[in-house]
Amino acid sequence: MLSLTTFRALSFDCYGTLIDWETGLTSDLLPITSQLPPSHSLLSTPLEAVQRFNHHQEHIWITQPSLSYDLALSAAFRLLASEANVSVSDSDAKSIGKGPGRWSAFKDTVVGLTKLKKYYKLIILSNVNDENIESAIKGPMKGVEFDAVYTAEKIGSYKPSLSNFKYLFEHAKEDLGVDKEQGELLHVARSLNADHVPAKEVGLRSVFVARGGDKPENYGTGGDLEQLKKDGKVNFEWMFQSIGEFADEVERQFLELEKGGRGKQD
């Protein structure tokens, strides 16, 4: 396997990679989906409603890039309700806007990140607004020390805009002394469309944390892996099923490197 020991920092997509986005969102869409008959198209697959919601959300990101993430979530929620021809309350629409701050982390996230922190600086690059990210760090990811958090709210645009990655490169260098051009930065994400496609465009090496998203039945909101590979739009060099699996391989490589160094000294 290619070496993971040459990097100084990891940048992470947060939702879908560290936080269980699809489970949290599925729950918060219940005010819509619970009103639908079993035969409704939004219930045709377990992820259909999530995918349609994501379609509306991505349109909002493009057309209203300065709209804060919580308001974008609420707007997408209302659009999905309109598509389904059901009524929803203002409180339900407002509640989903705060959802990312309370959705659960994957079981391997905190342990895996704690292990990775021994070897790298940790950065979040997220489309989520500051308030939700702060709540997630204090809540579901409590105990993990991040060196920097860069959000769409700070940047003024949403991934997959290349502006977000340029901001990452500039600030990682200014704030942390980490130089992407020197091969010191590695991006870690599940989302193919929002992260791995632009990562290839800007020459950022990356790790695909699949979480089942390498299987067609689990593509969810991340993108169609086979089609993107066929079109040559992604170029990740490593694939793991979880942050925990990735962290285990990182530790194995660093321990092997340390062992080799001791052997030479002996």
Evaluate whether 64 touches 76 at the Cβ level (below 8 Å): no
Name the residue type at position 86. V
Burial of 190 (0-12, 13-18, 19+ CB in 10 A): buried
Q: Is 13 among the residues known to form the active site?
A: yes
Q: Which residues contact 8 (CB under 8 A, 6 or more apart)?
A: 120, 121, 178, 184, 185
Q: Which of 13, 70, 92, 108 is catalytic?
A: 13
For the stretch 136-163, what's the b/e string if a residue is b when 16 or more beta carbons lie within 10 angstroms of its beta carbon? Answer: bbeebbeebebbbbbbbbebebbbbbeb
Q: Residues in the chain, how many?
A: 266
Tokens of 123: 């950065």
- DSSP type of residue 136: H
CB-based contacts of 39: which residues, under 8 Å, 6+ apart? none
CA pair distance 148, 176, nearest whole angstrom: 8
Tokens of 145: 């020390």
Residues annotated as catalytic are 13
